[in-house]
Chains A and B, each alone.
Chain A
Amino acid sequence: MATQATPPLPTAAKVTSYGILARPGAGSSGWETFSWYFFRISGVGLIFLALIHVFLMHIANDVSATNYDYIAARYANPFWRVYDLLLLTLALLHGLNGLRIVGDDYIRSRGIRLVVQSVLFFVAVTFWLMGTMTIITFQPGHTLAQSVLGFLQH
């Protein structure tokens, strides 16, 4: 690909309220380029992870059959814990990155956009930790409180 011409510097009348990281035309080494590739790469992974998950839960079984014992049997095999952790991580990041872009599209004010993206980051961390906690610590017959207490007392 030929080198791109430097975009004209914005005049005072055209300056828009973009931050350093979100500046358009930032070239192929910018965050948006990483985000572009991340969507497609995580998307391919999610095609398998998510569709197989839905197939197992709704077609091969039924949601009403995915009770406590079913999950206990499934999580006895660490493969499913890893699988679900990967699904959780990729789906959360893929989805919330998409929501970030929706915000970029519709929120004009830089301040409000910053607040919204901070909330999205907070949501990502919180929900990822919640899901990871369940996937990693689940032991049949133990509640979450017992697992946490057991971990803290050792």
Chain B
Amino acid sequence: MYRGQAGQWSWLFHRVSGLAVLIFLLIHIVDITLIGFGPTVYNDALKVFSTAPFRIFTLALIGALLYHAFNGTRIILVDFWPSGYKFQRQMFYIVMVVTILCSVGAAVFILAPIFGACPQHGYCSAANF
């Protein structure tokens, strides 16, 4: 087992999260194309994305995207900031913490309707929480 520590795991998570987001993107392009078939078809398809299993999937996806974005910034800093390499491990810890914090924040909005919160609209947005 290669013991690459932070660098190894950050690379692996970056690759896995990137692939996950890419696969979703390809599916997403197809489902948005449905809007070309008119409002009934599109709004029906949209109802599927508001169900509980899809909300959990959405949260996982957003977590992957957040990690990929934050770790990507870490990579850019290591590449273009001459002293960056000295702090790569600390930056990795920051990336993990910020990713988890932002994911928990997103989870509040995305998962709340499953538990019956915001019954007026059926969803919780920043405007009507």
Contacts and interface: CB of A to CB of B under 8 A. Distances in A.
Interface stretch (A4-12, A57-65, A111-119): A57-65
Interface stretch (B1-9, B34-42, B81-89, B90-98): B34-42
A67 B32 CA distance: 11
B80 to A, nearest CB: 8
Interface string B51-82: 00000001000100110010011011001100
Interface residues of A, number: 41
Interface string A71-93: 10000000000000000100110
Interface of A is mostly: helix
Interface of B: 15, 18-19, 21-22, 25-26, 29-30, 32-33, 35-39, 42-43, 46-47, 49-50, 58, 62, 65-66, 69, 72-73, 75-76, 79-80, 106, 109-110, 113, 121-127
Interface of A: 40, 43-44, 46-47, 50-51, 54, 58-69, 71, 88, 91-92, 95-96, 98-99, 102, 123, 127, 130-131, 133-134, 137-138, 143-145, 147
